């Protein structure tokens, strides 16, 4: 993605999905030009998915510009249909969607909650926004209120975070494009053209029902075919175990990461005592490069488990992952034990993991429903009007992950 300077107070970004994205100078370009946002050029949108789909090397930077573009289209559509949106509200919505993912760490969701135990990327994004708000004398007050969902016009917050937000519309289309998985293609233009406001909330006109259903079906397929693909999931489990082992060795004094930011977060015991400002400053120095370097460095590590996991990830010897399997047979255990001892790993439990993955296609609680506005003006939840019967409870699959012997 490149940008071209234009006279008249804006920049044009060239995007492979939407063509030219025009962004006015001012707050939005200050956000984009800030070092904290530029860092997102070096964080992959879909983590380790590129190990299965080689084209999936697009970044969080790509995604956030795309989400901003769709939000601009949605705001224009709502205004054309009579929604009263002030300039401050408009800019606050744009700033919030632009910053909603800034808290992601290396490889995005793959190490969610591990940099600071129990702190999600959503919470970190809020801390970034608060830090920038202090730096810019309160210019992000509106964005923060909208991000938190505490602004009276809930439909604006729903554009940022809901079951039909601009974040999801962009990542499904973008991830489908870069992975080449056609099942993720959605009609985001049609969905945006049918957005409206009724009773203070975001609704979809009845004629957009089938496009919304296609969106939900595409999301379901993308989860199990891309985000939770068994090889992607196995690679993520390996990366998590690599980080856990690296952290364990570092705390024992047996291994010291080169990255000062990684060293800091490994030894961070109390996030409250450290303070949000220091945490954000350190976190802003983390990108995929930090972890990629440690993986490469660990190829010559003395610890056999750390070395084995690094070799698997760097040289793409990804573990086998089998869904709906509770354990290994006696013969499989025997063969695996011999293979692991040959590389210096004596504890079989260190390389065999059992877990559960869940996904929720649609949430039918009243506050989270997608609502349709029918031709007679009434508003009904999609779950009562849909052609399909969406499963409200999470789709759940147990998996067993272990090294390959072939």
Q: What is the pLDDT of residues 71-124, one digit of tens each?
A: 999 999 999 999 999 999 999 999 999 999 999 999 989 898 888 887 899 999
Same structural domain, 151 and 222: yes
Q: What confidence score (pLDDT) does residue 389 get? A: 63
CB neighbour list of residue 6: distance below 8 Å, 6 or more residues apart: 12
- Whether the model pTM is above 0.85: yes
User: Six-digit token pair at 249?
Assistant: 């060795």
Which DSSP category does 138 fall into?
T
Please report which confidence band the pLDDT of residue 378 belongs to, taking 50, 70 and 90 as the band edges: very high
* Residue 174 and residue 314 in one domain: no
Q: What is the CATH number of the domain that holds 26?
A: 1.10.3210.10
Look at residue 11 and tell me if it is in a domain.
yes
Q: Is residue 365 part of a domain?
A: no
CATH of the domain at 299: 1.20.1250.30
Residue 1 confidence (pLDDT): 47
142 and 241 within one domain: no
Q: What pLDDT does 390 receive?
A: 59
pLDDT band of 142, cuts 50, 70, 90: very high
Three-class secondary structure of residue 289 per DSSP: helix
**Residue 342 belongs to what domain range?**
230-357
Whether 92 and 127 map to the same domain: the answer is yes
Structure confidence at residue 364 as a pLDDT band (50, 70, 90) = low
**What integer pLDDT is reported at residue 197 of this predicted model?**
97
CB burial class (10 A; 0-12, 13-18, 19+) of residue 85?
A: middle
Domains: count for the chain: 2
Q: What is the pLDDT of residues 155-184, one digit of tens each?
A: 999 999 999 999 999 999 999 999 999 999
Q: Are residues 254 and 223 in the same domain?
A: no
pLDDT digits 0-9 by tens, 310-357? 999 999 999 999 998 888 999 999 999 999 999 999 999 999 999 988
Look over the chain and give the mean of its residue pLDDT values, rounded to a whole number. Answer: 92
Residue 299 within any structural domain of the chain: yes
What lies within 8 Å, CB to CB, of 90 at 6+ separation is 75
Q: What is the pLDDT of residues 252-262, one digit of tens each?
A: 999 999 999 99
Provide the pairing of β-strand 201-205 with 371-373.
parallel
Query: Looking at residue 87, what is its pLDDT?
Result: 96
Residue 364 domain-assigned?
Answer: no
Distances from the Cα of 66 to the Cα of 169, 170, 175, 270, 330, angstroms? 9, 6, 12, 36, 51
Are 58 and 128 members of one domain? yes
Same domain, 260 and 275: yes
d(CA 377, CA 198): 9
- 291 with 161, same domain: the answer is no
How far from the centroid of its chain's Cα atoms is residue 114's Cα? Answer: 15
């Amino acid at each position: 993605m490149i940008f071209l300077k234009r006279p008249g107070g804006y920049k044009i970004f060239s995007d492979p999905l939407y063509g030219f994205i025009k962004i006015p100078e001012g707050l939005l370009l200050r956000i984009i030009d800030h070092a904290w946002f530029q860092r997102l050029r070096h964080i992959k949108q879909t983590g380790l998915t590129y190990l299965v789909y080689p084209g999936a090397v697009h970044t969080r930077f790509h995604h956030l510009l795309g989400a901003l573009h769709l939000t601009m289209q949605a705001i224009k559509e709502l205004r054309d249909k009579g929604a009263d949106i002030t300039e401050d509200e408009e800019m606050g919505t744009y700033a919030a969607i632009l910053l909603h993912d800034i808290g992601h760490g290396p490889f995005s969701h793959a190490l969610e909650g591990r940099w600071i135990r129990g702190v999600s990327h959503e919470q970190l994004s809020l801390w970034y926004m608060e830090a920038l708000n202090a730096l810019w004398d309160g210019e992000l007050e509106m964005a923060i209120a909208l991000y938190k969902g505490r602004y009276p016009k809930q439909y604006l917050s729903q554009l940022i975070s809901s079951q039909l937000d601009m974040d999801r519309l962009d990542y499904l289309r973008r991830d489908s494009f870069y992975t080449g998985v056609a099942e993720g293609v959605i009609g985001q233009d049609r969905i945006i053209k049918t957005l409206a406001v009724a009773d203070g909330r975001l609704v979809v006109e009845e004629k957009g029902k089938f496009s919304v259903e296609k969106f939900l079906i595409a999301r379901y397929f993308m989860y199990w075919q891309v985000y939770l693909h068994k090889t992607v999931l196995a690679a993520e489990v390996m990366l998590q175990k690599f980080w856990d082992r690296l952290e364990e060795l570092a705390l024992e004094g047996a291994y010291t990461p080169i990255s000062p930011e990684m060293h800091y977060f490994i030894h961070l015991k109390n996030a409250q005592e450290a303070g949000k400002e220091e945490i954000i400053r350190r976190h802003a120095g983390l990108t995929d490069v930090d972890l990629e370097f440690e993986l490469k460095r660990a190829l010559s590590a003395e610890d056999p488990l750390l070395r084995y996991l690094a070799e698997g990830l760097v040289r793409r010897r990804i573990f086998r992952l089998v869904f709906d399997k509770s354990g290994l047979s006696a013969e499989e255990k025997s063969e695996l034990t011999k293979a692991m001892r040959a590389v210096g790993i004596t504890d079989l439990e260190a390389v065999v993991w059992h877990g559960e993955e869940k996904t929720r296609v649609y949430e039918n609680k009243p506050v989270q429903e997608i609502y349709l506005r029918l031709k007679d003006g009434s508003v009904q939840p999609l779950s009562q009007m849909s052609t399909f019967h969406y499963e409200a409870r999470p789709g759940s699959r147990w998996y067993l992950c272990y090294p390959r012997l072939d």
